[in-house]
């Protein structure tokens, strides 16, 4: 093997020796693999255990180390390693190389590449398949890397975005916790348990000076993390994630639509038509009215004529005045929300008491009660979209 090939393959260790016929292709573990055969002899001058110089060669043994794939094929470095025997302590040791850690079967370079792949948004199984390793191997590489990670326990971002997610069955809690720096969208921490006392224990490890600098806690509308304010972040304010506010409005309106739709579930033929239409075209009612197509008409079986999206929505709203009022109410809220019109958003909530909108009434009251919680996300650009990505 010439020097250029050595550099190309990353086999520049001067203690590695290769014959002329150093490459063999054969099947290995069910796939076609490339074997690079060589010899490792570092000519040690002393025992690595007792430092004695009374050592002799004591045969050799063969090891197989997986390298980075070449031409998308599994590549194995098969080395015949020299074994040494110490006359003083009676122990044996073998030749070593910087390419691979002792007692490991993957080269350091391959581990680094797999670790870099974990930064991307892809599954462990996909990474394992790509590099001819197991899912457990990818997990071990990740755990080894986290052992050397030392978090800064004297710093907290001014904006913390919090959310929970389902991680693995092996964790103690039903849901895990993720926290992102809202100013940089960089991952801050992941905890296996999202329960309040666990979060309190974790954040109290930070000095009070760092905790006082946290200004905003961004979370969803159902989270109980607001209790952290009293004991952990006394200077912070709760900010409801903008995504969850829009989701809250849509869910409330959709509940009302289902309630009104079920009123038309009778034996009357006209009511049956209205029921089927409200059930079939519910997505159009949840869309922003500015994104509906007003001119293009397509044939729709339930209407038995060509009709546009705007005309479908108008037809559905004509079935019930309560539904029409709620629809325009939600569209107006969404408009002010997108335009960040805090005053218009709050004024709209106050104007519509919705005395006859049973589904939206309860949710609107809760919105007015949490006036500050709803105002903050309209003014603050931070949200937890990076958590869901």
Determine the pLDDT at residue 302: 92
Final residue belonging to a domain, choices 182, 206, 240: 240
Strand-pair category, 31-40 with 16-17: antiparallel
Determine the pLDDT at residue 353: 47
Final residue belonging to a domain, choices 240, 273, 302: 240
3-state secondary structure 308-350: CHHHHHHHHHCCCHHHHHHHHHHHHHHHHHHCCCHHHHHHHHH
Residues 302 and 223 in one domain: no
Whether 106 is covered by a domain: the verdict is: no
Whether 284 is covered by a domain: the verdict is: yes
Q: How far apart are CA 292 and CA 313, in angstroms?
A: 9
Whether 105 is covered by a domain: the verdict is: no
Q: How far apart are CA 126 and CA 111, in angstroms?
A: 15
Residues 83 and 134 in one domain: no
Strand partners, 28: 31
Number of domains the chain contains: 4
What CATH number is associated with residue 169? 3.30.420.10
Residues 252 and 364 in one domain: yes
Residues 338 and 367 in one domain: yes
Whether 309 is covered by a domain: the verdict is: yes
Determine the pLDDT at residue 183: 85
Residues 174 and 194 in one domain: yes
Determine the pLDDT at residue 355: 43
What single-letter DSSP state applies at residue 134? -
Residues 247 and 185 in one domain: no
Determine the pLDDT at residue 213: 92
Q: Is 51 exposed, middle or buried (0-12, 13-18, 19+ CB in 10 A)?
A: exposed
Determine the pLDDT at residue 311: 94
Stretches in the chain below the pLDDT threshold 50: 353-376, 378, 384-385, 389
Residues 231 and 341 in one domain: no
Determine the pLDDT at residue 289: 87
pLDDT tens digit sequence for 136-159: 999 999 888 877 666 778 899 999
Domain of 275, in residue numbers: 243-388
Q: How many Cα atoms are found within 13 Å in the side-chain-facing hemisphere of 209?
A: 3
Final residue belonging to a domain, choices 200, 221, 240: 240
Angle, helices 342-351 vs 321-338, to 10°: value is 160
Residues 229 and 295 in one domain: no
């Amino acid at each position: 093997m010439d020097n250029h090939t050595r550099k190309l393959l990353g086999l520049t260790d001067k203690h590695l020796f290769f014959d002329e016929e150093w490459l063999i292709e054969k099947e290995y573990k069910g796939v076609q693999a490339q074997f690079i055969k060589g010899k490792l002899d570092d000519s040690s001058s002393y025992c690595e255990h007792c430092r004695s110089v009374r050592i002799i060669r004591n045969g050799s043994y063969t090891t197989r180390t997986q390298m980075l794939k070449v031409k998308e094929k599994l590549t194995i470095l098969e080395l015949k390693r020299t074994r040494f025997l110490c006359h003083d302590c009676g122990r044996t040791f073998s030749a070593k190389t910087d390419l691979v850690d002792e007692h490991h079967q993957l080269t350091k370079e391959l581990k680094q590449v797999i670790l870099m792949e974990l930064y991307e948004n892809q599954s462990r199984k996909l990474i394992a398949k790509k590099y001819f390793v197991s899912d457990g191997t990818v997990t071990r590489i990740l755990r080894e890397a986290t052992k050397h990670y030392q978090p800064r326990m004297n710093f907290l971002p001014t904006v913390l975005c919090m959310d929970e997610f389902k991680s693995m069955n092996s964790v103690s809690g039903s849901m895990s916790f993720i926290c992102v720096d809202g100013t940089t969208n960089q991952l801050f921490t992941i905890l296996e348990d999202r329960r309040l006392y666990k979060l309190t224990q974790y954040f109290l490890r930070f000095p009070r000076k760092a905790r006082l600098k946290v200004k905003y806690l961004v979370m969803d509308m159902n989270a109980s993390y607001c209790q952290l304010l009293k004991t952990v972040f006394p200077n912070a304010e709760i900010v409801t994630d903008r995504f969850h506010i829009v989701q809250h409005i849509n869910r409330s309106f959709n509940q009302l639509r289902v309630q009104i739709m079920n009123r038309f579930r009778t034996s009357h033929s006209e009511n049956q038509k209205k029921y089927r239409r409200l059930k079939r075209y519910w997505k159009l009612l949840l869309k922003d009215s500015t994104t509906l197509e007003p001119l293009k008409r397509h044939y729709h079986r339930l209407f038995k004529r060509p009709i546009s999206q705007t005309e479908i929505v108008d037809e559905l709203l004509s079935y019930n005045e309560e539904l029409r009022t709620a629809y325009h109410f939600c569209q107006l809220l969404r408009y002010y929300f997108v335009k960040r019109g805090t005053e218009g958003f709050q004024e709209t909530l106050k104007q519509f008491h919705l005395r006859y909108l049973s589904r939206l009434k309860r949710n609107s009251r809760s919105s007015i009660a949490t006036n500050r919680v709803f105002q903050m996300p309209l003014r603050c650009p931070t949200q937890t979209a990076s958590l869901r990505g």
